[in-house]
Amino acid sequence: MLSVTLGDLTTMKVDAIVNAANTQLAGGGGVDGAIHLAAGPTVLEECRAIVESQGPCLTGDAVITAAGNLWASWVIHTVGPIWGNHDPIDSSTLLASCYSSSLDVASTVGAKSVAFASISTGVYGFPRELAAPIAVSSVLEWLQGNAATASINAVTLVCFDQGNHALVQDSLNRLCRHSN
């Protein structure tokens, strides 16, 4: 099941939340900073250990840490594309990969519920009107393609503001109408 909600990702009562991270997993502004602030220092320590052992997290990839002080059990960190650093087709492919790779990682730990921030639509500048249908279609495709084997049965796309919520909800409504 896929749903859209208006709210604060850090307060979601789900097994895993997905953070819009930078390649160094170093915390930052926006949702990334909010997650690190709410989770406490242990998440940043785990992120540093991942980068030290594996190197930077590549755009479109995802890694997982515990969730520190958050309600969730895990934080999945994914690096979205910076709009303008890639051509629009590559940016779209990388953004779709953020959603699918995050769900792959969540499934490996047995997460049943996952909540996503809107990846790359803040300081990374990915146009929200382009990102919304990519987010919705990527999650729906993953859920349909993995229905028989994945533990995940609920995904929530969490929007911080009303404008983005309307775009994402409209994308979900349109895609669900077309699939019926």
Active site residues: 32
Do residues 124 and 82 touch, judged by C-beta distance below 8 A?
A: yes
Q: Cα separation of 180 and 161, whole Å?
A: 29
The 3-state secondary structure of 2-40 reads EEEEECCHHHCCCCEEEEEECCCCCCCCHHHHHHHHHHC
Please state the length of the chain.
Answer: 180
Terminal-residue alpha carbon distance, the chain: 15
For 151, the token pair is: 């533990």
Q: Cα separation of 118 and 134, whole Å?
A: 10
Q: What is the dihedral of CA 35, 38, 41, 47, to 10 degrees?
A: -20
Q: Cα separation of 111 and 132, whole Å?
A: 23
